[in-house]
Amino acid sequence: MDRILEPEVMDTHEEVENYVLMNNQIPNEAFIQRLCELGAFGKMLDIGCGSGEICLMAAEEFPDSEFIGIDLAEKMLTLANENLSKGKKRYCCSFEIADAKDLGFPPLSFDTVFSNTILHHIPEPALLLTEAWRVLKPGGLLLIRDLIRPSQLEGVQTLVEKHASGENTYSKNLFHASLCASLNVAELKEIAGIISPSLEVVVDSDRHMSLQGRKPEVL
């Protein structure tokens, strides 16, 4: 099954409202755990931060770090800043509008760069990954997690029924569209190989995979 692209930016009131209703606690906690296991540190960039959940959760685990979250969706950033105002780690997080394909930060700006389930929104995922690698310092950590596109449409529906049975119809349709828009494992490995041999692709579950690794100290 080929990719079926979905809109790059989620910025309608309906999309934001339904995003808030979706229960992402377990996968979000797994993502934070992976950051800990891989030794995330220092100044961190969250590409496609959405409502800011991952940044704020990470701030609890890494109290000495600074976090910048970027997104193209203004309404999502409004929600992120609302969540930030309620959080315990306000002083180490900030959110700003930026394009994942053209970040605008100088090269080698961050010790850790991460992104959680945003890659499938990008028509040319290599652009996001190249930018993430560009702004990462030598010795820095990259962690990009996304959904896995099944080989057949039937597999998409199976995953929706398994993991989104308790969600409303809109959220189920959104999950379905996201799975169809995602890369498969082979496609992500191909892009990773172009960017750096130090990167590996790890299959995390029946629906998630991660691109992870450290940037070599010697460029």
DSSP state of 200: E
Please give the pLDDT value at position 91. 64
Q: Is residue 177's pLDDT more than 90?
A: yes
Q: Is residue 129's pLDDT more than 60?
A: yes
pLDDT grade, residue 17 (50/70/90)? confident
Q: Is residue 178's pLDDT more than 80?
A: yes
Q: Is residue 219's pLDDT more than 60?
A: no
- pLDDT tens digits, one per residue of 144-157: 999 999 999 999 99
Q: What structural domains does the chain harbor?
A: 13-214 (3.40.50.150)
Q: Is residue 35's pLDDT more than 60?
A: yes
In whole angstroms, what is the distance from residue 43 CA to residue 79 CA?
22
Residue 173 near residue 6 (C-beta atoms within 8 A): no
In whole angstroms, what is the distance from residue 9 CA to residue 59 CA?
25
Residue with tokens 């169809």: 180
Please give the pLDDT value at position 218. 74
Mean local confidence (pLDDT), 160-188: 95
Which residues are registered as beta bridge partners of 96? 70
Report the mean per-residue pLDDT for the chain: 94
Name, in order, each residue with C-beta under 8 angstroms of 186's C-beta and a sequence gap of 6 or more. none
In whole angstroms, what is the distance from residue 105 CA to residue 167 CA?
37
pTM across the whole model: 0.95
- pLDDT tens digits, one per residue of 84-126: 998 766 669 999 999 999 999 999 999 999 999 999 999 999 9
Q: Is residue 20's pLDDT more than 90?
A: no
pLDDT grade, residue 217 (50/70/90)? very high
In whole angstroms, what is the distance from residue 91 CA to residue 109 CA?
19
DSSP state of 152: S
More confident residue, 21 or 53: 53
